[in-house]
Amino acid sequence: MPKSHTPGVPKLLRVLNDQAALKLLLEDGPQTRAQLAERTSMSKVTASQMMERLQTRGLVEVVGSKSGGRGPNASLYAAVPAFTYVVGVEVGPVTTKGACADFTGRIVGRAEIDVEGSTDPVAVVRRVVTDSVADAGIEMAKVQRITLGTPGVIDPASGDIGFSWNLPAWHRGLRTALNEEFAAAVAIENDVNLATVAEQRSGGAGGATDFVYAWFGGGLGLGVILNGNLYRGASGAAGEIGFLPVPGGDLPTGGIVTRLSKGSYQRVIGGDAVLDIGAKHGFEAAEPEDVLTAAVEAREAGAACLDEIARGIALGIVAVCVLLDPTVVVLGGPVGYAGGLVLAGRVAAHTSQLAPVNPSVVAGTVIEEPIMRGAILHGLDAVRESLFD
């Protein structure tokens, strides 16, 4: 009986090896062939062959050398930043920001435009993308992916906006229109989900494979990571925690609940509620995050204010924890970041008093542009996966 042959196996192994080596170079910076061989448990010969293949594709280059003691210096390899580019777009009701990043994730171009009252989302995206690419000094043809982070529900089947309460002109069909506008592939993702990805990679989640990221600001949102993957739900509405029924928050009235309705949890600890709590304790502010900043800085004088806010937050956190039992709860959004470790500790204490759960409640650490950072990571993930399809 003839032997069975599996000619695809060696090719698959080469692809996996190349993918692993490129991932190490992108995440940890320049390395020698010997270092890559050691870290991937491959022979030096195999590592040399990997580098040759990746160099041939224009993915890596020699950027220097490193002394290894005896013998000649070893070449240092690194990913080629200019191999390709992605653009992340953070959409808001007043301003929209864009950032162009190279293959390593370094932001090389930026743009920001005023969009208040705009009724042409395609024109908004076109301008912010082209401006950020122009600021980077590259040709649009070098951009491979564009990711938009927007508030609202994104249909997981179509990848289109289902509804966004503060972006009424952003509607179904927008993703198709944008893909017709640009040669680069365009994706739309919920903004809190993107901030969750940013915290997953380099933030407070600490490498946990099951965690939730809670966004507190003017609005509320929740990003859910299960088994290392972002969970969106059947209709993309997973994480719309503003509608959680909680004590102290009146339920929407009128018999018909729409996404324009103000949910129970939103009434208790949304931006307006935080401003009211702050005013009650003598911390008048224009933005909810300013209440937290002032209360934290006030130390003992701000303790009562922080406790009341923490109790309100804990009502939703405990509901999430008894359902999902995450390893870590990351507090983010403007309020979560402003409250920091002081707020996180109080939320953890109140949560454990409300139910027999004891999650690790931590403050988010990707304070600077978490949505933009997540949009760039989303685009780069898609590019890097496509390289080895």
**221-253 pLDDT, tens digit each:** 999 999 999 999 988 889 999 989 998 878 766
Q: What is the CATH number of the domain that holds 140?
A: 3.30.420.40
- Are 90 and 184 in the same domain? yes
Domain endpoint, select from 63, 79, 95: 79
Percentage above 90 pLDDT, the chain: 68
Show Cβ contacts of residue 129 under 8 Å, excluding neighbours closer than 6 positions. 87, 89, 98, 111, 143, 146, 182
- Are 358 and 219 in the same domain? yes
Which segment of 68-82, 141-155, 234-248, 336-350 scores lowest on mean pLDDT? 68-82
Of 187, 201, 203, the residue nearest 23 (C-alpha): 201
Asked if the structure places residue 143 within a domain, the reply is yes
Asked if the structure places residue 71 within a domain, the reply is yes
- Are 44 and 116 in the same domain? no
- Are 215 and 330 in the same domain? yes
- Are 257 and 383 in the same domain? no
Asked if the structure places residue 46 within a domain, the reply is yes
- Are 102 and 183 in the same domain? yes
- Are 97 and 131 in the same domain? yes
Q: What is the CATH number of the domain that holds 54?
A: 1.10.10.10
pTM for this entry = 0.90
Domain boundaries, position 99? 85-194+371-387
- Are 248 and 190 in the same domain? no
Domain endpoint, select from 79, 97, 123: 79
pLDDT on residue 41: 87
- Are 65 and 167 in the same domain? no
Domain endpoint, select from 34, 53, 79: 79
CB 370 within 8 A of CB 364: yes
Asked if the structure places residue 283 within a domain, the reply is yes
Show Cβ contacts of residue 79 under 8 Å, excluding neighbours closer than 6 positions. 22, 25, 26, 59, 60, 103, 104
pLDDT on residue 260: 58
pLDDT on residue 207: 82
> pLDDT tens for residues 299-356?
999 999 999 999 999 999 999 999 999 999 999 999 999 999 999 999 999 999 999 9
Asked if the structure places residue 5 within a domain, the reply is no
pLDDT at 167 over 70: yes
- Are 361 and 323 in the same domain? yes
Asked if the structure places residue 1 within a domain, the reply is no
- Are 219 and 313 in the same domain? yes
- Are 232 and 301 in the same domain? yes
DSSP three-state, residue 139:
coil
Domains in the chain, number: 3
Asked if the structure places residue 244 within a domain, the reply is yes
Asked if the structure places residue 112 within a domain, the reply is yes
